[in-house]
């Protein structure tokens, strides 16, 4: 009998529900095929949760996430909530979820499908065959550092401040993930920091060098973040795995996404540490946002969401074979010339969100015939 996996679905705001819907259909296909059984729960996060409960995330939802085998999240935020109090804005719900589940390791692969080489704003020869993995620290750094705030000064001016902070343990924990993934890939790890200006990231660099001793077969390099941003658009192929801080990873992953043609193509996995029984908390979400301008119109690209689900199968359920099949299916629908609006180029066929989902499922059917 197929394994039963408990998934918490958090569609969120904007295009979140539409793209999650396409994953639900892929899940249904897997169940029909007898590959797995899902027990799905659904809850609110972000703006939709604010509308219903006045907060972007409820403790009940954190509980559900902890007891689920994995969480699938769409996206959160939108202009509708621009004026809510800062500590209950939609994004705060996502950050709290990451923190509460201890999801310190954020894996953001940027892979260029050959068929999309012309959708990138970069030259074809620069990005053809690109396959890099950004490992972003996700529960520390300036996103969470204290003290933080905005205060009013005696002269009536204001002073805003945030704190960039990492401990050795935090650096080692994410560093090891970077080294281990480099071992499984092409053996190269580039650690990105701003060691020429920020003491905290100077210490980051020293600690990464320290754990490098445990991974003699990985070729380690260091790069300053400004240079890394430039290199990602100049010659992204030089990278294999990049490991970096929370904020630098946020920025570099958006830059890397454009190399792949669209933010609508980038999946991500956020992982906690393994417990004694070999389980860990995990959340899978696309890197893209809620795209409120096209929400509800069937124009969203569901592929980053579908690819995030493939990452779930790979990292949470060890179902590499089905994950491979889903990735191949995405590739084959692109090869057929189907495109959502964000990746549309001349001569291709522009399709809706659900038509893209249909095509992925048809491609899966073909693989499993
Ligand atoms: C991301 C997003 C989030 C982040 C926002 C929505 C809080 O940009 O996942 O990259 O900054 O981490
Ligand atoms: Mg971001």
pLDDT digits (tens, 9 = 90+) for 87-111: 999 999 999 999 999 999 999 999 9
- Which helix (H) or strand (E) segment holds residue 158: the answer is strand 158-161
Question: Quick one: three-class SS letters along 62-112?
Answer: HHHHHHCCEEEEEECCCHHHCCCCHHHCHHHHHHHHHHHCCCCEEEEEEEC
pLDDT of amino acid 186: 97
Q: Among candidates 96, 105, 97, which has minimal Cα distance to 137? A: 105
Q: Among candidates 76, 23, 33, which has minimal Cα distance to 307? A: 23
pLDDT of amino acid 313: 97
Any residues with CB less than 8 A from the CB of 68 and at least 6 apart, and which? 6, 7, 8, 41
Residues of the chain predicted below pLDDT 70:
1
pTM: 0.95
Tell me the CA–centroid distance for residue 250 and ligand 1, in Å: 6
Ligand nearest to the CA of 138: 1
In degrees, to the nearest 5, what angle opens at C-alpha 310 toward C-alphas 46 and 326?
A: 130
Which numbered atom of ligand 1 lies nearest the CA of 253? Answer: 10
Using a 6 Å cutoff on CB, does residue 250 contact ligand 1?
A: yes
- Angle, helices 225-234/246-259, rounded to nearest 10 degrees: 10
Q: Among candidates 94, 137, 109, 124, which has minimal Cα distance to 265? A: 109
- Map residue 6 onto helix, strand or coil: strand
Q: How many CA atoms lie within 13 A of 267 on its CB side?
A: 28
Which residue has the CA at smallest separation from atom 12 of ligand 1?
A: 250
Using a 6 Å cutoff on CB, does residue 13 contact ligand 1?
A: no
Which numbered atom of ligand 1 lies nearest the CA of 91? Answer: 7
Domains of the chain, with CATH numbers? 1-111+262-369 (3.40.718.10), 121-260 (3.40.718.10)
Using a 6 Å cutoff on CB, does residue 285 contact ligand 1?
A: no
- Which helix (H) or strand (E) segment holds residue 125: the answer is helix 124-127
CA separation for the pair 280, 283 (Å, rounded): 10
Catalytic annotation, residues: 143, 194, 226, 250, 254
pLDDT, mean over the chain:
96
């Amino acid at each position: 009998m197929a394994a039963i996996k408990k998934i918490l679905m958090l569609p969120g705001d904007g295009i979140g529900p539409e793209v999650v819907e396409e994953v639900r259909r892929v899940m249904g296909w897997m169940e029909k095929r007898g590959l797995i059984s899902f027990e799905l729960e659904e809850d609110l996060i972000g703006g939709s949760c604010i509308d219903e409960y006045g907060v972007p995330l409820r403790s009940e939802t954190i509980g559900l996430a902890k007891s689920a085998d994995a969480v699938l999240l769409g996206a959160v935020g939108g202009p509708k909530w621009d004026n809510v109090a800062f500590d209950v804005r939609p994004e705060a719900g996502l950050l709290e979820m990451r923190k509460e589940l201890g999801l310190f390791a954020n894996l953001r692969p940027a892979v260029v499908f050959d068929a999309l080489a012309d959708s990138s704003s970069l030259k074809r020869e620069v990005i053809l065959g690109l396959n890099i993995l950004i490992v972003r620290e996700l529960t520390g750094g300036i996103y969470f550092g204290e003290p933080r705030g905005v205060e009013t000064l005696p002269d009536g001016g204001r002073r805003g401040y945030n704190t960039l902070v990492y401990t050795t343990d935090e650096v080692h924990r994410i560093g090891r993930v970077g080294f281990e993934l480099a071992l499984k890939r092409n053996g190269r790890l580039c650690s990105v920091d701003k060691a020429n200006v920020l003491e905290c990231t100077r210490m980051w660099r020293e600690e990464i060098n320290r754990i490098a001793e445990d991974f003699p077969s990985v070729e380690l390099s260091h790069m300053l973040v400004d240079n890394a941003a430039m290199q990602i658009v100049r010659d992204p192929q030089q990278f294999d795995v990049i490991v970096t801080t929370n904020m630098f990873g946020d920025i570099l992953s958006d830059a890397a996404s454009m190399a792949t043609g669209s933010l609508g193509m980038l999946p991500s996995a956020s992982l906690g540490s393994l417990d004694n029984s070999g389980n860990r908390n995990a959340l899978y979400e696309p890197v893209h946002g809620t795209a409120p301008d096209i929400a509800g119109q069937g124009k969203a690209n569901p592929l980053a969401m579908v690819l995030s689900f493939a990452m779930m199968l790979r990292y949470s359920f060890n179902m590499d074979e089905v994950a491979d099949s889903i990735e191949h299916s995405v590739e084959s629908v692109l090869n057929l010339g189907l495109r959502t609006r964000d990746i549309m180029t001349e001569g291709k066929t522009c399709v809706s969100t659900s038509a893209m989902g249909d095509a992925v499922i048809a491609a899966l059917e073909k693989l499993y015939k």
